[in-house]
A and B are shown apart, each in its own frame.
Chain A
């Protein structure tokens, strides 16, 4: 490992657009440096911070390459190392620190400025020290130092976690949720598709379970579910069973489900005509009450909709309402229950049990609940009329498979698109988790404040994530070199500069303790506590 106070090289050339060239000192081994690592450059008058964007080898005289010393002549290669043959790195200076603090760098350091690997002090200066509103998310690559996220900035915008499946998105999302929870800057509502966040989750690396939010923070998290059997099977006691009524479902909800229900546009649009005909609260009940093709044809005629489209709509909706949590006679005020929790600062995780893999169920419930909650939030915020005390507590809604909600065709119509576009107008933001970011509407992507990107291998996905990021060409090469697990490239609103992060460990009792969970997570220490209180039981 390189000593952090040792100069690794000096600036010998480069430009602001292409990057600054640094000649490595003879003692610095290129094999110890990695692309994406943080560096500090001591210029004549300013201190710069940047990341390594490229590493290459050179030689003064090309004859060395034509007649290289044999591999058995170590003395010659050692003598030449760093002098006749040398290593260069290219760095991108991102921030400059001067008397007034740091700001994006608009110039480059002078010739022969010293370059060092960044230290904990540097990282603290740039990203902030760990404290109530700065959450320790992991370390920059190859460093032991702690990198902290400014949670205030995180909840100011919608954010996104992207990456192929198996790259650690879920772990990263869990950490972010904990960070938001602990900082108390916002409250979470998580639509937990695979039941990963609420009580427990699965870890491939550990080959077993890891604790979820409720286990770590029992008094601040509640688990809602739409599948009580699944919860029972997993021996979890949910705090509330969500049921949706027919009268809760609006034409917009069906529009969202057009693709998953395989409806034609005409069929989906017909819902509006039905709502107009039967009224917004009764349309579904009345429509589904119809039996037989004839009644459908008559209705189709009456409202001026294509009969076969209406028939297919009828078909699909019948199937949809077979979901056990959809009740003909009304739901159970889930929205009110959720909002009550949120107002008290309690985080809500909605589990889907076996319906997690049914996209229709996921989209229906998420969309429906969000629409109503958002409506309430908008109402409260407007009534508060600028009085900070009365404003609703900021809310972060987590949705997975976001490209199903935010595809270009849907983004304009859905509540999620609205939330993403309106930023924090009504104190609601999104945390989107997705493995196909290219499926997300471009405009929405550009509204996402901070992006956490694990390994992506599809060119289009990479391009869509990096849209609008400055220096995206260099970031692309860093992104492609990420490990397939536990590493993410983070950049955007909450981060003064892009950084490659090794996410902190999650899953051991040590890690739970470090996350500030106060509960006993360790059987051994539980025993110790018992014997402290009651004395050694075997003494009897």
Chain B
């Protein structure tokens, strides 16, 4: 599996991955897998591109007539100075091939390779949706937005779209039945 990047910050609740290539992060809401034997599953909930050196902010580089492509082609050093990172909420893990949808007992190692799952891995993971409660209760700002993004991203990739959407809808209803506003807010955008 082609890896997209390496873990640079890690906790049991979330982990941050730095992409190998600039702008090559997975979309918001995507499922990602970190590690090689014991895996940790995460859902991308925050993507940022910034300067590698925190003390050095990017500044305007192009002249008036430049397009965006011009700026990049005239300033090839940009890709060395910037990096794209994304943070994923940890939603599950697997040990010896068995998948568990709880917070992982141990966070992924630093420099663990992160990749996108293939169709089989994706289908297998979303077979049960118990991890949705982790996402809804996450302290991450805009957790709901992440959930909506996850639903949309996964609908586009799974084999059985119809049944996946209904299962998602039901699981969210189960968790948010006492809060109709939040529920309809989310459901209307999936």
Which residues of B are found within 8 Å of A468, using beta-carbon distances?
Answer: none
Q: How far is the CB of B31 from chain A (nearest CB, A)?
A: 21
Which residues of B are found within 8 Å of A26, using beta-carbon distances?
Answer: 170
Is A69 among interface residues, defined by CB-CB distance under 8 A? yes
A79-B187 in contact given A26-B170, A84-B173 (Cβ < 8 Å): yes
Which residues of B are found within 8 Å of A80, using beta-carbon distances?
Answer: 169, 173, 177, 183, 187
Most buried by B among A61, A67, A76, A84: A84
> What 0/1 pattern do residues 37 to 67 of A give for CB contact below 8 A with B?
0000000000000000000000011011001
Contacts A63-B181, A78-B166 given; 12 further ones with Cβ under 8 A? A61-B178, A61-B179, A63-B180, A64-B180, A67-B180, A69-B187, A76-B184, A76-B187, A79-B187, A80-B173, A80-B187, A84-B183
Q: A63, A67, A73, A83: which contacts B173 (Cβ < 8 A)?
A: A83
Q: Is the CB of A76 within 8 A of B166?
A: no
Is B136 among interface residues, defined by CB-CB distance under 8 A? no
Interface size class of A (residues with CB under 8 A): 10 to 19
Mostly helix, strand, loop or mixed at chain B's interface?
A: helix
Is B8 among interface residues, defined by CB-CB distance under 8 A? no
Please report the C-alpha to C-alpha distance between residue A271 and residue B184 in the assembled complex, in whole angstroms.
84
Q: Is the CB of A84 within 8 A of B166?
A: no
Which residues of B are found within 8 Å of A79, using beta-carbon distances?
Answer: 166, 168-170, 172-173, 187
Which residues of A are found within 8 Å of B170, using beta-carbon distances?
Answer: 26, 79, 82-83
Is A534 among interface residues, defined by CB-CB distance under 8 A? no
Please report the C-alpha to C-alpha distance between residue A26 and residue B171 in the assembled complex, in whole angstroms.
12
Q: Is the CB of A60 within 8 A of B177?
A: yes
Which residues of B are found within 8 Å of A60, using beta-carbon distances?
Answer: 177-178
The 25 listed contacts between A and B (C-beta, < 8 Å) are A60-B177, A60-B178, A61-B177, A61-B179, A63-B180, A67-B184, A69-B187, A69-B188, A75-B169, A75-B187, A75-B190, A76-B184, A79-B166, A79-B168, A79-B170, A79-B172, A79-B187, A80-B169, A80-B177, A80-B183, A83-B173, A83-B174, A83-B177, A84-B176, A84-B183
Listed in ascending order, the chain B residues whose CB lies under 8 Å from chain A are 165-166, 168-170, 172-174, 176-181, 183-184, 187-188, 190
Please report the C-alpha to C-alpha distance between residue A443 and residue B172 in the assembled complex, in whole angstroms.
60
Which residues of B are found within 8 Å of A67, using beta-carbon distances?
Answer: 180-181, 184
- Pairs of residues from A and B, 6 with the lowest C-beta to C-beta distance, nearest first: A79-B169, A63-B180, A60-B177, A83-B173, A84-B177, A76-B187
Q: Is the CB of A61 within 8 A of B180?
A: yes
Most buried by A among B170, B173, B181: B173
Which residues of A are found within 8 Å of B176, using beta-carbon distances?
Answer: 84
Give chain A interface residues in 62-98, CB to chain B under 8 Å: 63-64, 67, 69, 73, 75-76, 78-80, 82-84
Q: Is the CB of A76 within 8 A of B188?
A: yes
Which residues of B are found within 8 Å of A64, using beta-carbon distances?
Answer: 180
Q: Is the CB of A76 within 8 A of B169?
A: yes
Which residues of A are found within 8 Å of B169, using beta-carbon distances?
Answer: 75-76, 78-80
Q: B165, B179, B180, B181: which contacts A75 (Cβ < 8 A)?
A: B165
Q: How far is the CB of B150 from chain A (nearest CB, A)?
A: 15
Q: Is the CB of A69 within 8 A of B190?
A: no
In the complex, which residue of chain B has the Cβ closest to the Cβ of A63?
Answer: B180
Please report the C-alpha to C-alpha distance between residue A67 and residue B183 in the assembled complex, in whole angstroms.
12
Please report the C-alpha to C-alpha distance between residue A67 and residue B188 in the assembled complex, in whole angstroms.
13
Which residues of A are found within 8 Å of B180, using beta-carbon distances?
Answer: 61, 63-64, 67, 84
> What 0/1 pattern do residues 361 to 402 of A give for CB contact below 8 A with B?
000000000000000000000000000000000000000000
Please report the C-alpha to C-alpha distance between residue A60 and residue B183 in the assembled complex, in whole angstroms.
12
Which residues of A are found within 8 Å of B177, using beta-carbon distances?
Answer: 60-61, 80, 83-84
Which residues of B are found within 8 Å of A82, using beta-carbon distances?
Answer: 170
Which residues of A are found within 8 Å of B183, using beta-carbon distances?
Answer: 80, 84
Which residues of A are found within 8 Å of B181, using beta-carbon distances?
Answer: 63, 67
Give chain A interface residues in 205-236, CB to chain B under 8 Å: none
Q: How far is the CB of B139 from chain A (nearest CB, A)?
A: 24
Please report the C-alpha to C-alpha distance between residue A361 and residue B165 in the assembled complex, in whole angstroms.
74
Most buried by B among A26, A67, A76: A76
Please report the C-alpha to C-alpha distance between residue A76 and residue B181 in the assembled complex, in whole angstroms.
12
In the complex, which residue of chain B has the Cβ closest to the Cβ of A80?
Answer: B173
Q: A61, A73, A83: which contacts B188 (Cβ < 8 A)?
A: A73
Please report the C-alpha to C-alpha distance between residue A79 and residue B187 in the assembled complex, in whole angstroms.
8
Please report the C-alpha to C-alpha distance between residue A144 and residue B180 in the assembled complex, in whole angstroms.
41
In the complex, which residue of chain A has the Cβ closest to the Cβ of B190?
Answer: A75
